[in-house]
């Protein structure tokens, strides 16, 4: 942790208490994690505490952790070796602890030139929900509407919580991990009814067959044994 991050962590604990969970990423970025019940009180402290003054909310994003960590591709440690399969699916992960939805807030303090990510976990249940922070940061208005539209996260106390990006008749929330890639309905113009109609999707799933890599006779052992060095080499 750099001196700047260490100073921010000290001020966060002094203002919000030692119980505030802090995580430092590889990029030396700090994420403060709070329960949904403590979101508003923590947000007020982050905005008003003299040592913090995170007066600007840059972004609000929903997160779906349903399949977090369960991937067939090694990514973090594959920089020098390329991507590879064979991940241990039973290892799991410890970030969400069984919870699925969270909301991430990107904060900026112009006074102290600091940035902070605040993450609040949604309450468990069929309808994930957290309190709206529009009363603390007015810029959260459309951000929260976007998270509601794409992830189905409810924001209690929001002044106008309705869809923002999808159509009025859209079914489901397209950024959820279990949302079908082909969607649920399709739109077309019906010349008989002379209006736009919604119908179940008619796209059929395709089975993608990988390309077959055929034998390359340039690497035939018999040819290489006769002085051939393969493509780009000198056989003499």
Longest Cα separation, the chain: 80
Average pLDDT over residues 207-217: 65
Q: Which residues of 8-19 are buried (b: 16+ CB within 10 A; e: fewer)?
A: bbebbeebbeee
Percent of the chain predicted with pLDDT > 90: 46
pLDDT of residue 180: 85
The tens digit of pLDDT for each residue in 102-136 reads: 999 999 999 999 999 999 999 876 789 999 999 99
How does residue 208 score in pLDDT terms, banded at 50, 70 and 90?
Answer: low
Residue 231 has pLDDT above 60, yes or no: no
Give the pLDDT confidence of 8-47 residue by residue, as tens digits: 999 999 998 877 889 887 677 899 999 899 999 999 999 9
Task: Flag whether pLDDT at 234 surpasses 70.
Answer: no
Tell me how many degrees the CA angle 171-176-181 measures, rounded to the nearest 5.
70
Q: Please provide the DSSP assignment of 29-85 as one string.
A: -EEEEEEGGGHHHHHHHHHH-TTT---EEEEEEEEE-TTTT--SS--TT-TTT----
Q: Residues 225-231: what's their mean pLDDT? A: 55
Cα–Cα distance measured from residue 109 to residue 32, given in angstroms and rounded to the nearest whole number = 15
Domain-wise residue ranges, the chain: 3-65+100-165
141-182 confidence digits (pLDDT tens): 999 999 999 999 999 999 999 999 988 778 889 999 888 887
pLDDT band at 3 (very low <50, low <70, confident <90, very high): confident
Is pLDDT above 80 for 218? no
Residue 94 pLDDT greater than 70, yes or no: no
- Of 231 and 150, the one with more pLDDT: 150
What topology is assigned to 3-65+100-165 in CATH?
A: Beta Polymerase; domain 2 (3.30.460)
- For residue 97, is pLDDT > 90? no
The percent of residues in the chain predicted with pLDDT above 70, rounded, is 74
Measured CA to CA, the distance from residue 18 to residue 160 in angstroms comes to 35
- What value does the mean pLDDT of the chain take? 82
pLDDT at 201 (0 to 100):
81
Look up tokens 């030396």; give the residue: 28
Q: Looking at residue 236, what is its pLDDT?
A: 45
In a 3-state reduction of DSSP, which class is residue 224? helix
Its pTM stands at 0.74
Token pair belonging to 27 = 């990029």
Residues near 47 by beta carbon (within 8 Å), at least 6 away in sequence: 53, 54, 55, 136, 137
């Amino acid at each position: 942790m750099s001196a700047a991050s260490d100073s921010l962590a000290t001020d966060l604990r002094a203002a919000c208490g030692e119980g505030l969970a802090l995580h430092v990423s590889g990029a030396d970025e700090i994420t403060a994690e709070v329960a949904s019940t403590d979101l508003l009180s923590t947000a007020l402290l982050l905005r008003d505490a003299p040592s913090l003054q995170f007066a600007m909310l840059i972004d609000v994003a929903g997160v779906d952790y349903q399949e977090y960590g369960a991937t067939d591709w090694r990514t973090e440690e594959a920089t020098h070796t390329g991507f590879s399969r064979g991940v241990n699916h039973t290892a799991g992960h410890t970030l969400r602890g069984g919870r699925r939805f969270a909301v991430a807030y990107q904060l900026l303090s112009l006074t102290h030139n600091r940035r902070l990510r605040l993450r609040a976990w949604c309450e468990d249940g069929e309808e994930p929900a957290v309190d709206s922070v529009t009363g603390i940061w007015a810029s959260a208005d459309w951000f929260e509407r976007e998270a509601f539209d794409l992830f189905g996260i409810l924001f209690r106390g929001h002044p106008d919580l309705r869809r923002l990006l999808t159509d009025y008749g859209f079914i489901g929330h397209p950024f959820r991990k279990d949302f079908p890639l082909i969607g649920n309905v399709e739109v077309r113009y019906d010349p008989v009814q002379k209006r736009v109609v919604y119908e179940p999707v008619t796209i059929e799933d395709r089975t993608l067959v990988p390309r077959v890599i055929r034998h390359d006779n340039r690497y035939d052992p018999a040819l290489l044994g006769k002085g051939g060095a393969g493509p780009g080499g000198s056989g003499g």
